[in-house]
Amino acid sequence: MHPIPERELGWKFSRSSGPGGQHVNTSDTRVELTWSLTDTTVLTPEQKARAAAVLKHRLIDGTITVVSSQYRSQHRNRESARARLQDLVAAAVVPPKSRRATRPTRGSVRRTNESKKRRSQTKQGRRGDWT
């Protein structure tokens, strides 16, 4: 997948909580990154549909929001948010692996049959005339 162009990203900045002393009270280091999945030109329609299905719990009106406030500098939080969005979308557009049908091994079939036989014998032992 190609990197998401800067023109498709929306940035908001606010004051962050956490370490930083007096610096925290004066600078907007918390970053909120928004990206519209429906309006993007980077993904094909199939990729958009797959990403929408995978990320449906994160979408609000077709928009994904990623927040980063782990670093003390706005620049590092911007890089972190962008990398997380990129990873999120890249993982969402990967097509799922198709399952190859396999047969159970001979040993697993044998073990299953033995446990069924034991269970059957247990239940047969419970039958009978108790009077």
In a domain, 86, yes or no: yes
In a domain, 121, yes or no: no
How many separate domains does the chain show?
A: 1
Confidence grade of residue 63 (pLDDT, cut at 50, 70, 90): confident
Q: Estimate the share of the chain in helix, then strand, then coil, as percent rounded to the nearest 5.
A: 45, 15, 40
What CATH number is associated with residue 72?
3.30.160.20
Which candidate, 66, 73, 70, 57, places its Cα nearest to that of 87? 66
pTM for this entry: 0.67
Give pLDDT tens digits for 3-38.
888 888 888 888 777 666 666 666 777 889 898 888
| Coil/strand/helix, residue 31 | strand
71: phi > 0 → left, psi -120 to 50 → alpha, else beta; which?
A: beta
Give pLDDT tens digits for 68-120.
888 888 889 989 999 999 999 899 888 888 999 999 999 999 999 999 999 99
Compute the distance between CA of residue 34 and CA of residue 77 in angstroms, rounded to an integer: 14
In a domain, 125, yes or no: no
What does the angle CA 67 – CA 75 – CA 84 come to, to the nearest 5 degrees?
A: 40
In a domain, 104, yes or no: no
